[in-house]
Chains A and B, each alone.
Chain A
Amino acid sequence: MGGYRPGLLNGAVAWATVIYLILPITIILPVSLTDQRFLSLPQQEISGQHYLRLLTTPAWTNAILQSAWIATISTALAVVLGTLCAIGCWRLSRRSTDLVRALMLLPIIIPSIAYAIGLYRYFATLGLLDSFLGVVIAHGVTGMPYVVITVSTALAAFDTRLESAARGMGASLPQTLRWVILPRIAPGIVSGAIFAFIHSWDELVVVLFIASRRVFTLPRKIWDGINENLDPAMAAVAVLLVGMTVLLLLLDLMLRRRREE
């Protein structure tokens, strides 16, 4: 939109908003490097002691490993089912499949507190409370919308005639999927996987209800930390989380750019 340079006021408020968005998150980096035993900026020198403590305390490392496992498996579940569902809906493309796609968005729209209390009772009858499988299922179901959205977006740019041509030349459905459709939408699938992974890695509300001792994820540990003992190890774990999220987002951005080219 050339020729319409935003005014000074607009620029100033926009910059202030960006600073408000970014700055509070960056403040955790110096705090995590403090030489003190409490939350503060470094006084004499910067120190890696809190990172060391983080990586040598079994309670923290166990929580990190559990979260990584749960996120990996629930992402796999969400990606496989979400991708197939998006492809089916895209190819059939009628009222009923529009409804299916709308249903798939519910986990993003309905607050997780409502889902969490329902799941708590539901899992109690199924014997899935405080189990690895239970958390994986919950995160997989709630991660599916992200995959359905990104894969549907990728499919929207894909010419249906290619698929018809493949079928016309005698390719079976699995062959068409494997050789024609999936390679075309691979970047969309990876995006979906990244978002489903971040979702599970961060999810707290459901875990607060359906897990207690055996399954203890990283967000749960952070939640307890913020409520009980605010110490610099919290800042260190926050920095690691932010670093991971930024890396994953950059990866996603790179893939998107390649797709656009």
Chain B
Amino acid sequence: MSPRGRAALGWWALILPAFLLLTAFYLAPILQVLAISVTEPRPGLGNYERLFTSESVQRVIVTTLRIGVVTTTIALLLGYVLAYRVAMAGPRAQRWWLLAVLVPLWISVLVRAFAWVTLLRRQGLVNEGLLAAGVIQEPLALVWNEFGIVVGMVHYMVPYAVLPMLSAMREIDPRVLAAARGLGASRGAAFLRVFLPLSLPGVIAAGVLVFIFSLGFYITPALLGGGKTLMVAEWIKLQILDLIRWGLGAMMATVLVVAILATLAVFSRLVNLRRLFGAGG
């Protein structure tokens, strides 16, 4: 073997342990889910037939898509405004704004759900405050319903929306804006016709990312939904741990994974996850 070939072999040896661990303890269990979905309770596509025949399966999917779309829309709007503010700030201020985005990103999702429950429940701080101020007579139902889920999910997703949009905005050459202004565009026109279109790839990347994270989200919807509004992830848990319907749960998990991978494949040119996380701070 040539020295070059031997050297390449050495570098491959560095990759191998991680690859083997991933194959044995990540890919194999995921493939097992796929296998279960077509073998239990009996071999065949019976579980997938439920997608078209079972009302409860369809309801869960519709609920998940609805909450996903609402969450993504709100997170994109808030995230865009925030990213724009960060991009326009001076270097010093930018660090502080960025910290305000990154700290929530890394704070435990459980801690955040707990904080929202503390604030939003019937005897929570928001209701107590509003009652004491005389704004409302009865406590509002702010949590353990779809409203609570969306509040908690948007809170989780805004940082994920900001980061790709910010990295797209940073690549926009400020001279383009100056040129637009110099040629007589108003501030509004310069933003709408120059800045916004140039930042669009970032918006799409953020949208895809937030949407796919929303689809499979478990902890926040489970804690803030109070078991009444079921999204896909909690429905899967219910089928498997409580009802022991492995085939059905595995079917839905497979559909979820395929839907996410398909979305990513469609948008793969715009969504660079590695860059997103690498640029995460």
Contact = CB atoms under 8 A, between A and B. Distances in A.
Nearest to B83: A14
Given A84-B15, A198-B106, A238-B114, A20 B260 contact: no
Interface stretch (B47-55, B96-104, B199-207): B96-104
A246 interface: yes
A16 B212 CA distance: 26
Interface in A73-97: 77, 81-82, 84-85, 87-89, 91-92, 97
Interface in A52-88: 77, 81-82, 84-85, 87-88
Interface string A7-27: 100110110011011101101
Contacts of B17: 81, 84-85
B219 A92 contact: no
B88 to A, nearest CB: 5
Identify whether the interface residues of B are mostly helix, strand, loop, or mixed: helix
Contact of B21 (A91, A141, A242): A141
A166 to B, nearest CB: 12
A178 interface: no
A198 B280 CA distance: 15
Identify whether the interface residues of A are mostly helix, strand, loop, or mixed: helix
A135 to B, nearest CB: 12
A92 B29 contact: no
B34 to A, nearest CB: 9
A57 to B, nearest CB: 18
A257 to B, nearest CB: 9
Interface of A: 1-7, 10-11, 13-14, 17-18, 20-22, 24-25, 27-28, 31, 39, 41, 77, 81-82, 84-85, 87-89, 91-92, 97, 100-101, 103-115, 117-122, 137-138, 140-142, 144, 146, 148-150, 152-153, 167, 173, 195, 198, 201-202, 204-205, 208-209, 219, 222-223, 226-227, 230, 234-235, 238, 241-242, 245-246, 248-249, 252-253, 256
27 contacts: A1-B177, A6-B88, A14-B82, A14-B84, A14-B97, A17-B158, A22-B100, A27-B125, A28-B111, A105-B273, A108-B273, A109-B264, A110-B216, A110-B261, A113-B256, A114-B216, A121-B246, A144-B22, A173-B11, A205-B218, A205-B219, A223-B223, A226-B117, A226-B223, A242-B107, A246-B103, A256-B281
